[in-house]
Amino acid sequence: MPLDPVAYLPYGDPDDFIREVTDLIWVDRSISYIRENYEPDSIVHGAYGTSTTRDEVIEGTLMRISSTPDRTGQAEDVIWEARGDDAFLSSHLVLSGHLQTSQFSRTIANCLYRRGRMVEEWVVRDSLAGALESGADLDELARAQAFRGYTGSWNEAAPADPIAIGDSGARPDVYRSEVEAVLEMIQVIWNERDLQKVEKYFQRDLVLLTVGNRLVIRPEGYRRALLRFLEAFPAGQFEIRDIQTNYDVRYAGLRVAVTWKFVGDYIGKPNYGSLTGKPVDVLGISQFTFHNGALAKEVRLWDDIALRAQIAQLRGDEPVGPSNIY
């Protein structure tokens, strides 16, 4: 079923819609446009929890723009997929930094738009990148934030068949073999820990871009990056919450976006301070690129400073103040 233009007007398609609306708000500073772009009761799941009002998005956007006035963002990828005939779910990878710089960071915002209005969003920022650049104390940054916690769909059981229906609703049955390959890879390698099988799914010359602006290459690099995350939560598991696919030569062909939740007890290596023995709830998004039937690239983001803040709260550390969900 073709997508009704009411989903993305006055722009040419959802890709144009996402890129232009984001520029209007974040680059041209038309913060007030959020009132036209978001429903009043729009829901945003961020690294520090869930917000349920448009006003909080406006306030959070203003604070972020004000705190980094010299930074500019632009689209690195937009993976969008229809949700019925009047809605779409986009996965917008944003690269932001100064106009001429080696210092940058990435954000992925997955946005559910219905008839041109935002209804629900899942957003992750690589806050670790900026913290490492500035030489800030990571734990001190974390203690300055309060983890609010999640409400709504994020607390519901993971979709039983995310290929058919994710948190954003029913999805079209497109690129099934590639989607199945990604989900099988996540189950076998991420959840079952059969790291030997990286070569089964990825090309030899793979690239992984992940938090802290880390660039990882080759299957062995991929294995080590996964172990580095899992070693603090050795029994943790990844849940698949949503999927979208898109083919566009502008972005190197076929890409598959996956929204995932990681849940695991902090009982392993104390990479985030003293152990708590309690579970963390991590919102993450990955974007995978296929080439000749195999995975060639992944961008994998979560907010590592927010993860530290969550652990600090579970440990009983007192936060200094409230967090900006957006």
Cβ-contact 86, 114 below 8 angstroms: yes
CATH number for the 162-315 domain, one of 3.10.450.50, 2.60.40.10, 3.40.50.300, 3.40.50.150? Answer: 3.10.450.50
Question: Distance between CA 43 and CA 254 in Å, rounded?
Answer: 29
Beta carbons within 8 Å of 270's beta carbon, 6+ residues apart: 232
Contact 178, 256 (CB under 8 A): yes
User: In tens digits, what is the pLDDT along the chain, a chain of 326 residues?
Assistant: 689 999 999 999 999 999 999 999 999 999 999 999 999 999 999 999 999 999 999 999 999 999 989 889 999 999 999 999 999 999 999 999 988 877 889 999 999 999 999 999 999 999 999 999 999 999 999 988 889 999 999 999 999 999 999 999 999 999 999 999 999 999 999 999 999 999 999 999 999 999 999 999 999 999 999 999 999 999 999 999 999 999 999 999 999 999 999 999 999 999 999 999 999 999 999 999 999 999 999 999 999 999 999 999 999 887 666 778 77
Question: What's residue 41's pLDDT?
Answer: 96
Q: At what angle do helices 304-315 and 127-134 cross, to 10 degrees?
A: 90
pLDDT of residue 187: 98
Domain range summary for the chain, segments of one domain joined by +: 5-143, 162-315
Q: What is the separation of C-alpha 183 from the centre of its chain, rounded to a whole number of angstroms?
A: 17
Check if the beta carbon of residue 309 is closer than 8 Å to that of residue 324: no
Q: How far apart are CA 306 and CA 200, in angstroms?
A: 33
Residue 7 Cα distances to 201, 259, 314, angstroms: 35, 22, 41
Question: Shortest CA distance to 194 belongs to which of 183, 204, 203, 186?
Answer: 186
Supply angle C-alpha 233, 285, 180, rounded to 5.
95
CATH architecture classification, 5-143: Roll (3.10)
What pLDDT, on a 0 to 100 scale, did the predictor assign at position 1?
63
Domains 5-143 and 162-315 share a fold: yes
- Alpha helical stretches, state H, the chain: 14-22, 34-37, 54-67, 127-134, 138-143, 176-185, 198-201, 218-230, 304-315
Distance CA 260, CA 134 (A): 29
Instruction: Report pTM.
Output: 0.96
Predicted confidence at residue 320, as pLDDT, reads: 66
Cα gap 58→71, rounded to integer Å: 18
